[in-house]
Structure 1
């Protein structure tokens, strides 16, 4: 097996999204790696109360804390709306657990929201008869996202929700390092009529090739959409001032210095950014037009995480045809699915620096998105 740090670095980058349906493009994780998972308690109720931006922020915070703890080391992770998953080599398991615990404590202290967390070994996942395999899909020259297959991440999530606690609690007041976490962009209105959030998962015991055929059929139905249904316009998302997420960003980045003071700083920073983006004026090597366009290009509006997840901008005809494909797959016992429609998409970002093109952006529906789609998936 390859050295721990070289394993993920050496994986090839896929450039055609349709290739993620082919398990031949995935590589099993080393036996001694660990898989981390998280899930917000009561996320459906939080969405009903209008707190979906908070839900997304906490889900992205899990990834942000892991990125900052890793200190520039690449590792696989995936955003799921009200949670996230990731994997690390064994020598980083302790610090990964510490970062998970810190986000759990922060979510409770800042928002009064419970966060389930768990860290499980790949060896235990395989002993349960499942696997964790990964691929890397490049959305742009600067950014790629991990894709997960094998059922192991779903197994870990089930263990976590069943109460198999594996992450020790951290001292009260522990602050995670959420440097770069923000939500400054405006919601992206549907240009074709509907923002559709879709979850598609294989039924237990279904052969991967049969499920892959359904994924291919779904992707074929959206292939005619501009840029595959990307919710962000080609020029990038819009922005307003003051940004709706200023308070959330202040909760993420005050570092114990006080939310109010940090919010004033966020408002000042975003005012400058808003002026630059609106005018297109370059400042100190920062090109706002290039940055805005890159934001859209780097976003993860579709992914594979033991199943297909997409938030796309589409028309009513596409929604109808997708339902037909999905219903056939459910009737044939191949897959379960959940969908949720809304008028807008939203974006949560991790931007260590605005001076390069490696910033990452997580897209979800703005009125429930993946969380609401999962309700239908569970009841399927």
Structure 2
């Protein structure tokens, strides 16, 4: 059996997000690793058509498929709203290619969504003058998330969109293993004014020191918000029955079985969870209210992904200050940015087990925040 590369396992965890504005907290990936990227074709159009929850589910499916393909082994990944980025050592290259190919054919078969997927050697990224550096942010005692810096993931995504490094879809009927992928939580209404989605990227040739100062100012402003701008309430997101995402989750998890049976299973499990949260009753050692609190603690509402991404529950004054900082930095030629506002945030989850604390939860704006912000960064009207 091939020994796994210990690089990622040995990375120290950073517990304060404001430290991740500093480039020296990021460590270069080993030379023989690969960067995986994915995105949904015409995600902006799908969001505008009201399919933002589907876009998020399909985007997160890549991470779910990779987690299951690697049998729970830790690897760096980041959720981007309509896609994902990740990195794997050479011994996991074949598993990554297979998982990406299966997700692409599944997305088309289940939802009629075209998905681009690619795997790019780190050597090619560096030959192009970019880099892939990674850090681990410990959001709670049970979960940490990878953070990326160096421009390499963005470069890989641009190459994928240009047709390079493409992985063709798997054979028709192929199914990725999406065990644990779910979206049962209710939308989280803004408590302080609006849900503000923010994307910030440095422009080519920008000074690392100046860009770091911009990130610092945005992060400092966000930390002044209630709970640092976390969109989930302290007690966790709410639940409703039936859950809005039941049909989507059934599409993700039915495999070769009946879609109707999968939907009934989702509805039954969601009803039990809803009842336990409402009553506080514990079942077989499972404390649903504690689990809901952990969902909020484990969520990824802020991240570094070759830039800065945040989904904030934001008051009007702070929003004005953040947008003023971003506008000035863009005018000075240091960064590019996009923002989007909406009334709610939403959550897509990967839950290996409800009895452990290693479940991960991806937050985005409830109207497709990161996708809309990215479109505005590129100058498209939405």
Same fold judged by TM-score > 0.5? yes
Query: Which residue number in structure 1 is paired with residue 55 of structure 2?
Result: 55
Does the Cα contact within 8 Å between 2:195 and 2:312 map onto a contact in 1? yes
Task: Say which SS state the counterpart of residue 347 (structure 2) adopts.
Answer: strand
- CA shift, 1:379, in A, is 1.4
1:142 paired with 2:180, answer no
Give distance in 1, aligned partners of 2:173 and 2:208: 45
Give distance in 2, aligned partners of 1:165 and 1:130: 16
Length-normalised TM-score, structure 1: 0.98
Does the Cα contact within 8 Å between 2:116 and 2:166 map onto a contact in 1? no
- CA shift, 1:166, in A, is 3.2
Map residues 114-263 of structure 1 onto 2, 5 A cutoff: 114-263=114-263
Give distance in 1, aligned partners of 2:226 and 2:311: 14
Length-normalised TM-score, structure 2: 0.98
- CA shift, 1:269, in A, is 1.2
Does the Cα contact within 8 Å between 2:200 and 2:309 map onto a contact in 1? yes
> Which runs of at least 4 in structure 1 moved beyond 6 Å after TM superposition?
none
Give distance in 1, aligned partners of 2:354 and 2:108: 30
Aligned length: 378
Unaligned runs of 5+ in 2: none
Does the Cα contact within 8 Å between 2:64 and 2:178 map onto a contact in 1? yes
Task: Say which SS state the counterpart of residue 166 (structure 2) adopts.
Answer: coil
Give distance in 1, aligned partners of 2:108 and 2:326: 37
Query: Which residue number in structure 2 is paired with residue 9 of structure 1?
Result: 9
Query: Which residue number in structure 2 is paired with residue 311 of structure 1?
Result: 311
Give distance in 2, aligned partners of 1:358 and 1:226: 25
- CA shift, 1:168, in A, is 3.4
Query: Which residue number in structure 1 is paired with residue 43 of structure 2?
Result: 43
Please tell me the root mean square deviation across aligned C-alpha atoms, in Å: 1.0
Query: Which residue number in structure 1 is paired with residue 337 of structure 2?
Result: 337
- CA shift, 1:209, in A, is 1.5
Unaligned runs of 5+ in 1: none
- CA shift, 1:5, in A, is 2.6
- CA shift, 1:210, in A, is 1.4
Query: Which residue number in structure 2 is paired with residue 346 of structure 1?
Result: 346
Give distance in 1, aligned partners of 2:357 and 2:148: 24
Query: Which residue number in structure 1 is paired with residue 356 of structure 2?
Result: 356
Does the Cα contact within 8 Å between 2:100 and 2:167 map onto a contact in 1? yes
Task: Say which SS state the counterpart of residue 164 (structure 2) adopts.
Answer: coil
- CA shift, 1:4, in A, is 5.0
